[in-house]
Amino acid sequence: MAYCEKILIAGFSGAGKTSLLQALKPIAPDDFEHFDDLDRLIMKAHGKGHENLAGLIESVGWDKFRLWERQALEGWLKEDGKGVLALGGGTLSPMVWELFGKQRKILFCHLDVDFETLWKRLNLQAEEPRPLLSLGKIKLHQLFEERHKIYSQIGWRLDGSRPLQDLTREFFSNLK
């Protein structure tokens, strides 16, 4: 794959972006300095008084959250050094793709998982409530289909249903 300074992992909620990010850090090339999760950056900056991301979004609304998300993404991309960032499930909007999708220094990786697997994962995860679950399965599937149109434009796809160990091995080998 082409030279890049920043890798952005995109995918729907429950695809395993944060898990992949955490697994990549110990095996990354030495020149990769930053490993961050966009949702965690937002919680660090704006989440005081909120137990989790779902509570923050409920408190401030989606519009304000999306603004903070975009600001955090732009700030992270301006940081010096190479890094990997796990995006939120809805970060990759058409506007964000237009702005950043074709930049040579930014490489997008789509962690692709089918909807039924995502649905099961989202319902089984007990660590933190997922904001999108309140939509219900039918509306969530519609949102999945809408977002998948954007994700499908990403040239680098990893099958997120594969074991994490396989994904981590494949991830950095794709950069050579």
Give the C-alpha separation, 133 to 103, whole Å: 33
- The CATH superfamily assigned to 6-173 is P-loop containing nucleotide triphosphate hydrolases (3.40.50.300)
Split at pLDDT 50, 70, 90, the class of 98 is confident
pLDDT digits (tens, 9 = 90+) for 119-163: 888 877 656 666 667 777 898 899 899 999 999 999 899 999 999
Cα-flanking dihedrals φ and ψ of residue 7, to 5°? -115, 130
**Could you tell me whether strands 106-112 and 6-10 are parallel, antiparallel, or unpaired per DSSP bridges?**
parallel
The ranges assigned to domains in the chain are 6-173
pLDDT tens digit string along 14-72? 899 999 999 999 988 888 899 999 999 999 999 999 988 888 998 999 899 999 999 99
- The residues, ordered by sequence, that sit 6+ positions from 25 with a Cβ below 8 Å of its Cβ are 35
pTM tops 0.85? yes
- What six digits make up the tokens of 161? 């249903």
